Structure 1
Amino acid sequence: FVVGYIKAQDWAATDYRNRLDLDDPNIDPYLNPGYDGVNVYGDDVVVPVNLKDQAPQIAAGVADAQGLTPGTPEYIAEVQRVIGLIPDQLVTRTGYKEKDLYDYNTYNVRSRLSLSYRINPDLEIELFGGFTKGSSIYTAQSRFALNNFQAYNGKLELKGSDFFVRAWATKENAGDTYDVGNTTSRFNEIWKPSEEWYTDYISSFVVNYIYPGFIKDDLPLSYYYARVAADNRTPEGNIQDISKIARPLPGTQEFDDIWQPLISKPISEGGGQVIDKSSMYHFEGMYDFSKFFAHTKLQVGASHRVYNLNSEGNVFFDTPGKPIIQNQFGAFGQLIQPFFNERLNVTLSGRYDKNSSFDGRFTPRMSLVYSLDKEKTHNVRASTQTAFRFPSSPDQWLNLSLGQMDINGKQFNFRVIGGNKEVHEFYDLNSTPVYALSGNNPFIGVPENEPFVIPVFRPETVTALEIGYKGLYLDKLLFVDTYFFHNTYDSFHAKQAIAQYPGTANENRYITTISAENAVVTYGWAIGADMVMPAGFMLKGNLMNNTIDVGNNTNTGFQSRFNTPPYKINVGLSNYHILHNIGFSVSWRWQDSFRWESDFGKADIPSYATIDAQVSMKLPQWSSVVKVGGSNLLNQYYTTGFGNSAIGGLYYVSVTYDEFLN
């Protein structure tokens, strides 16, 4: 029986760059009207509002206010003058920083109970159960606050010397989880609908920038006063006009009166709460026939998995009381045959898999391992295999709304959806033209002129080749391992941003999973070495490379989401007996910069390096080990994905009691 509890203050996500231009140094929304912060929410560009698009209406209003008669030369001249003054400028609403919306108090409670009974020397039965509850925050399609999520898992297994049969299940409950970004956008619509907010913004901008006798020609100051007027609050928090509603401030009762009901209302009902009570059940068995052969090893097995996707229509394409049930079957066989006094081992295997949404498929595999010497200190390996992957449950059935607004009579919806035909047919994506979207942000991406044909959604297949070598040198003090791999994917699962009915009052935008029409190739290599040195020192290191080539899949809006650094380096030095009962380890890690692609956005993730170190002391008289150490010892903040928290140093002291310590 094991129980664990962790409580901590998580690192904050404080990337305040402008999502619309990550290199723009102006991140002040009062001076940059189109600011859309990475970790700022409610300022998202759901319906693009550009001052230039409003110019004819603004100009006509200015001319009318001066008493000019429409159609006269004076009227036309004034309209043209005003239109010429209006800048080509996107305007976003005033958002809220994530750190003002989420407290970053994270905790995790874990419990595990395992019961085993040995029926006889060759037969054992085990019953296992586990429970987890906690809170955290993570990045997916948006930033999600996992508040009081729960997960249950259990397993029943019967195993013998040459077989096993097991059944296990997992069930989750999202608890009080909510979509931080989506909730904040809806929060803004409640305290002041965008229709009213933009009206006040534009009115103030026109008065200050267009009319004679006001600020005039001071564009930044006009932007400043326009936002203050629309929010009815200065950057310092002061209300301008107490007779009008003002932007609520985090931490106030006024704010909580809107926020708390929103995060308690499901997304499907206009709130931000995520409901997910999905579960999975898995059954599998394996039998080893090797005892019937002198040298050959033969194993066969089968599995059956059941997915129960139950989000009550909030996350998946299910409905309340009618979850999505998916079945997946699989069977495999593996034969290992040695040759030449076991210096050559040949492995042949194959498996058949079937998913209720896709046709079944058989995939064969073969690998060779050859020892170059009798002592088997130098070994080469090669393998070729075909494999395929069914789309994940979210890639098939996701149906998550990330924004819905109504501005100037234009309703705009943005969703992340799965690639299954049932989902696409529901939104008429197969019967109406859709257009690929350009840029890093699908909210404001420009649709292509020609329609995009969504490829047939299929399982992803891969033909994989690998060659490798392992060897011992210097009287077995040096161990070297290296390999090269090359994978060719057919129907590679990628993401595609598309628009439906672009430029109309019914425009919708989606990110969906697709099967790439052309081949995608990934390849790479790695080399690693472990060296036993004098006086008990151990030196380790490795260098890895991973590369992707998307080939001819260059359609606008295509995302491979490889999200892997081209190069990684790890170097470590340790000695667990440098002094009596005292040991240490130190490691240096570096990874290259790379391109990050996700539903949350696309950006370059900078390279970074960290140092980890630990000193340990054994206390045999107390059967204990004390460890003092740190991860990211120099506290150099880095991030591993776009929108994530920046990770700093973590320092710890641990005491472990072990009655068997010697």
Structure 2
Amino acid sequence: MKIYLFIISLFFCSISFAQTSVSGSVKDSKNEPIPGANITVSGEDAGTVSDIDGNFSLVTTKKPPFEIKVSSVGYGVKTISVTSNNQKIAVVLDEEQTLLDEIVVSASRAPERLRESPVTIERFTAADVKKTASPTFYDGLENLKEVQMNTSSMSFKSINTRGFATVANTRFMQLVDGMDNSSPLLNFVLGNLIGVSDLDVASVELLPGASSALYGANAFNGILFMKSKNPFIDQGVSVYAKYGQTNQKAAGANEYYDYGVRVAHKFNDYFAAKANFTFMKGTEWWATDYDDKTVEGRDRSHPNYNGMNVYGDEASTNIKSVGQTLANMGLLPASAVNLLPNENVSRTGYNEVDLTDNVVKNAKVDFSLHFKPFKNDFEIIWQSKFGFGNSVYQGANRYYLNGFQMQQHKLELEGKNFFVRGYFTTEDGGNSYDMLFTGLNVNRAWKADSTWFGQYAGAYVQSTLAGATPEQAHTIARNTADTGRLIPGTPEFQNAFNQVISNPDVLSGSKLVDNSKIYHSDANYNFRDLIKFAEIQVGGSYRRYDLNSFGRIYTDTPQFGGIKYDEYGLYTQVQKKLMDDRLKFTGSVRYDKSDNFDGNYSPRVSLVYSAGENRNHVFRGSFQTGFRNPTTQDQYIGFNVGNAILLGSAPDNLTRYEETLPVTSPLGQALVGGTTTTIDGNNAYFNSYTAQSVAAFSALATSDPIAASALLVRTDVDLVKPETVKAFELGYRGQYEGFNIDINGYYNIYNDFIGNLTVLAPLYGTAQDAPNPLLGPTDPGAQSVDAIATGNYRAFQLYTNTDIEIKSLGFGVGVSKKLPRDFEISANYNYAQFDFDQAKDPSFEAGFNTPKHRVKGSISNDKLFKNFGFNVSARWSDEYLWESSFADGMIDAATVVDAQISYGIPTLKSVLKVGATNLGGKEYRQLLGPGLIGQQYFVSLTINP
């Protein structure tokens, strides 16, 4: 409480100094106001921005005479002399067709003109935020060249570049004011859960492709930088309110609203502060795909149905084996066993829409305190960010993040040529739960699996004896076993549901428990003021992972203690301009080390050449290597997802995971000396069969068991290690006849690509290639065949590397132009493909998950006529294959059009916007599992003095 009182006191206290005031207006050559123009004092960080009418007011302790600089995206820079206090200035900025002189920071960790960036870079400015046709600026990033968006939830969108897309995109990094937004537990970004408010966005920069040379292990396939506004420059109270409606065939029409406020104030040249709050609430896109996950064309009438968005039907067993067990117990005549089919039957599951309230929410709170002890020497920043919300995350299962919380706290010292920062990220799973285990355990709370399957077998036999066909017998058996089943909406169902989602034990509950943390620090120093022959930078970072899922997801059970491990890295970069500054050379190298893996070097070399009289034709080429350390999941997960155990391969994790399982085969019981046996992770990696070979075995086992056994293949994989990429890129940026053109092409070579492999570990015997069951019960290979044939095995999904080299290539073209009467058009195209010889590693899924062709375009006009503007954006992508641990299948081609019209209200210093997404109305998806994306209509009012 004391610290908050201290913060409040800082907001209302200031020290008086002699001050100079400057005010005025910023307009274009047509006498139209330019809102959002930057006005800064030359040689200082002090500054402000113009309001919606183009007016500004600047206060500084600097005494006249001095100069101020006025700039805005799309316009030239003007320098104005200030000779007296309270001087009024009228500034006219000339339009500038080229965007090559925009300043970017991310590509080289130092300010540089866009033209000089050594790699491809995409930008999204505060002006783009204002005119986007999407409900939020983060949604609007989907229209950038190179960006592929994957929607798991209305509030959880994952950005991907250059292939290998997933919801859990661990190959892509997102930084907000220098802080990694990744979840400590999950190792990937949860969209904009703890990102930036629309009101506080200063700029967004995107680097597609490998960036490990400067940013380390996780910047493997792209990195997004979001920078918020500095209260020394952007001050005042800004608010927005959005209200609208989502429309989807499954969910119908539902309300949507989003509110935000930003308060920022510079008390003097030494202290400024700001605070942000946003809140969004709506209805989730309902997930109602009831196709079978495993067999195309199978529907609910099939005895072994496993629906995409149905949970609880994952409980499946061979009904003939159930009959044999009943016969052994004397509960079924031995002769009746032969009436049962030798096939699997699944329990009746629950639809996803019955297992969530389908409410999506997100609240973000952040505040920061900014100190300049010596005015223009350096700045000290304390920043705290909090994110809360409900959303749906999809990994191997679907998870409802209910009351999920993340927070970040940072202390940073930033100067002209250096920064030093430290921050930590922590999260709390709240009341989140796994929907698959919710369905399974609500069923089990009502009736145990053994009882349900026993009743099913008995009813099937009775109806068959009474003359029913197999189809009729299955229907009668299911209805019998389901008698008294808990029905959604009843008090009995709700009581069972509430008990299950509050229980973290997967045997009876589904709650996700998490209190994991990341501690991170990094520093950078630029020697440009000390060393003149070249620009040299050095830097480094340190990170500690502190995992705490209480044994629910990781193997961090109390008996083993928590999981902690460290990573660190060091880098240097040299830049040198040659040939009258037309040629720019950049060379950098970084060394990274993780506790569990050998160190990695990541070099990058690039050349940029500016051709033409005005240097408006810029060619670039680069080569760099990147690497990605296995994530905490790859190393330490030990997560039961129902049909398999997700098992990480850190050496100590193999013994951390342990499970006692029932043995039902008479041979197996004799071998293990009882009805149960205990296995650990070593069984999964070193004594298992590939799932693909077991499937081939099962298809032939009944008719020809000898030939079937010959199809079994022993798993032969190594423990997971870092994956690497060699990235080659060529590009061009330039201007021709008023068109701004950006072309890039890339070629990537991946080695030791990390992926998943499903295996089946027999509970007894020794896995061998093509074991011979004729050798008898004393042969370890024959014993393992018996285990596989009788269902005495455990399925695992392992994290490993493929030995096959994977290659990807692509190119992109972006064109933009400002037309007469203030119209602006832009278009971009991306091509992507990859090369992987599946026949050489048939069990490995690369998961490219990327359309080969994507086209995007927009037309806008901020000054269509007095106070009116509009923007229309369209995008198209062709169909592509989606591969994941949740489901595989094709994603259809989709065309999406978004539009907005805006009206400025100068007297209120506000903008009224009316917008709509997916105007065509055809629902589409971006991956398998989530609901189809419908339409969204909204009206917003933004007051931004």
- What is the TM-score with the length of structure 1 in the denominator? 0.87
Aligned-pair CA distance for 1:553: 6.8
Amino acid at match of 2:382: L
Task: Give the distance between the partners of 2:589 and 2:845, measured in 1 at CA.
Answer: 31
Aligned-pair CA distance for 1:176: 0.7
Corresponding residue for residue 96 of structure 1:
350
Task: Give the distance between the partners of 1:329 and 1:615, measured in 2 at CA.
Answer: 49
Corresponding residue for residue 598 of structure 2:
359
The answer to whether structure 1 residue 325 and structure 2 residue 325 are counterparts is no
Corresponding residue for residue 724 of structure 2:
461
Task: Give the distance between the partners of 1:431 and 1:279, measured in 2 at CA.
Answer: 29
The answer to whether structure 1 residue 5 and structure 2 residue 279 are counterparts is yes
Question: In structure 2, do the counterparts of structure 1 residues 621 and 11 end up closer, same or farther at CA, with 3 Å as the change threshold?
Answer: same
Corresponding residue for residue 134 of structure 1:
389
* Residue aligned with 1:199, SS: helix
Choose which of 749, 754, 770 in structure 2 pairs with 1:488: 749
| Contact in 2 for aligned 1:395/1:513 (Cα 8 Å) | yes
Cα deviations across residues 524-553 of structure 1 (Å, max 9, x unaligned)? 111111122222211111111222222367
Corresponding residue for residue 222 of structure 1:
473
Question: In structure 2, do the counterparts of structure 1 residues 90 and 311 end up closer, same or farther at CA, with 3 Å as the change threshold?
Answer: same
| Contact in 2 for aligned 1:130/1:152 (Cα 8 Å) | yes
| Contact in 1 for aligned 2:875/2:895 (Cα 8 Å) | yes
* Residue aligned with 1:349, SS: strand
Corresponding residue for residue 269 of structure 2:
none
Map 1:577-588 → 2, pairs under 5 A: 577-588=863-874
Corresponding residue for residue 407 of structure 1:
none
| Contact in 2 for aligned 1:437/1:445 (Cα 8 Å) | no
Aligned-pair CA distance for 1:385: 1.0
Task: Give the distance between the partners of 2:434 and 2:312, measured in 1 at CA.
Answer: 12
| Contact in 1 for aligned 2:625/2:726 (Cα 8 Å) | yes
Task: Give the distance between the partners of 1:633 and 1:380, measured in 2 at CA.
Answer: 39
Aligned-pair CA distance for 1:602: 1.6
Question: In structure 2, do the counterparts of structure 1 residues 567 and 48 end up closer, same or farther at CA, with 3 Å as the change threshold?
Answer: farther
Aligned-pair CA distance for 1:430: 6.9
| Contact in 1 for aligned 2:873/2:899 (Cα 8 Å) | yes
| Contact in 2 for aligned 1:303/1:330 (Cα 8 Å) | yes
| Contact in 1 for aligned 2:684/2:759 (Cα 8 Å) | no
Amino acid at match of 1:347: T
* Residue aligned with 2:529, SS: helix
Corresponding residue for residue 312 of structure 2:
42
Aligned-pair CA distance for 1:482: 1.2
Cα deviations across residues 163-220 of structure 1 (Å, max 9, x unaligned)? 1111111100001111110121122222111222122222222222x32xx4533x43
Map 1:153-172 → 2, pairs under 5 A: 153-172=408-427
| Contact in 1 for aligned 2:650/2:720 (Cα 8 Å) | yes
Cα deviations across residues 480-523 of structure 1 (Å, max 9, x unaligned)? 11111111111111111111013456411111211111211121
Corresponding residue for residue 297 of structure 1:
535
Cα deviations across residues 561-609 of structure 1 (Å, max 9, x unaligned)? 2222222111111111111111111111111222222221222222211
Amino acid at match of 1:638: Y
Question: In structure 2, do the counterparts of structure 1 residues 112 and 225 end up closer, same or farther at CA, with 3 Å as the change threshold?
Answer: same
Task: Give the distance between the partners of 2:876 and 2:645, measured in 1 at CA.
Answer: 36
| Contact in 2 for aligned 1:20/1:441 (Cα 8 Å) | no
Task: Give the distance between the partners of 1:522 and 1:511, measured in 2 at CA.
Answer: 26
Amino acid at match of 1:634: G
Choose which of 521, 528, 533 in structure 1 pairs with 2:814: 528
Question: In structure 2, do the counterparts of structure 1 residues 441 and 332 end up closer, same or farther at CA, with 3 Å as the change threshold?
Answer: farther
| Contact in 2 for aligned 1:351/1:363 (Cα 8 Å) | yes
Choose which of 107, 111, 115 in structure 1 pairs with 2:365: 111
Percent identity (aligned)? 32
Question: In structure 2, do the counterparts of structure 1 residues 253 and 98 end up closer, same or farther at CA, with 3 Å as the change threshold?
Answer: same
Residue range with higher mean Cα deviation, 621-630 or 637-646: 637-646
Aligned-pair CA distance for 1:48: 3.4
Corresponding residue for residue 470 of structure 1:
733
Task: Give the distance between the partners of 1:649 and 1:465, measured in 2 at CA.
Answer: 39
- What is the TM-score with the length of structure 2 in the denominator? 0.62
Corresponding residue for residue 650 of structure 1:
936
The answer to whether structure 1 residue 122 and structure 2 residue 377 are counterparts is yes
* Residue aligned with 1:598, SS: coil
Task: Give the distance between the partners of 1:388 and 1:432, measured in 2 at CA.
Answer: 27
Which 5+ residue runs of structure 2 have no aligned equivalent? Answer: 1-274, 656-679, 701-708, 763-787
Residue range with higher mean Cα deviation, 316-325 or 257-266: 316-325
Amino acid at match of 1:378: H
Choose which of 512, 516, 519 in structure 2 pairs with 1:278: 516
Question: In structure 2, do the counterparts of structure 1 residues 624 and 313 end up closer, same or farther at CA, with 3 Å as the change threshold?
Answer: same
* Residue aligned with 1:562, SS: coil
Aligned-pair CA distance for 1:59: 11
Which 5+ residue runs of structure 1 have no aligned equivalent? Answer: 233-245, 404-412
Aligned-pair CA distance for 1:34: 1.7
Aligned-pair CA distance for 1:230: 0.8
Map 1:10-21 → 2, pairs under 5 A: 10-21=284-295
Task: Give the distance between the partners of 2:415 and 2:363, measured in 1 at CA.
Answer: 33
* Residue aligned with 1:113, SS: strand
Structure with more relative contact order (C-alpha pairs < 8 Å, separation 6 or more): 2
Aligned-pair CA distance for 1:250: 1.2
The answer to whether structure 1 residue 539 and structure 2 residue 806 are counterparts is no
| Contact in 2 for aligned 1:58/1:206 (Cα 8 Å) | no
Task: Give the distance between the partners of 1:658 and 1:126, measured in 2 at CA.
Answer: 24
Map 1:135-154 → 2, pairs under 5 A: 135-154=390-409
Question: In structure 2, do the counterparts of structure 1 residues 334 and 374 end up closer, same or farther at CA, with 3 Å as the change threshold?
Answer: farther
* Residue aligned with 2:851, SS: coil
Cα deviations across residues 224-243 of structure 1 (Å, max 9, x unaligned)? 222111101xxxxxxxxxxx
Amino acid at match of 2:825: L
Question: In structure 2, do the counterparts of structure 1 residues 183 and 469 end up closer, same or farther at CA, with 3 Å as the change threshold?
Answer: same
Choose which of 615, 623, 636 in structure 2 pairs with 1:397: 636
Choose which of 424, 433, 442 in structure 2 pairs with 1:178: 433
| Contact in 1 for aligned 2:285/2:930 (Cα 8 Å) | no
| Contact in 1 for aligned 2:850/2:880 (Cα 8 Å) | yes
| Contact in 2 for aligned 1:145/1:178 (Cα 8 Å) | yes
Corresponding residue for residue 410 of structure 1:
none
Question: In structure 2, do the counterparts of structure 1 residues 147 and 430 end up closer, same or farther at CA, with 3 Å as the change threshold?
Answer: closer
| Contact in 1 for aligned 2:807/2:834 (Cα 8 Å) | yes
| Contact in 1 for aligned 2:694/2:712 (Cα 8 Å) | no
* Residue aligned with 1:290, SS: coil
The answer to whether structure 1 residue 419 and structure 2 residue 671 are counterparts is no
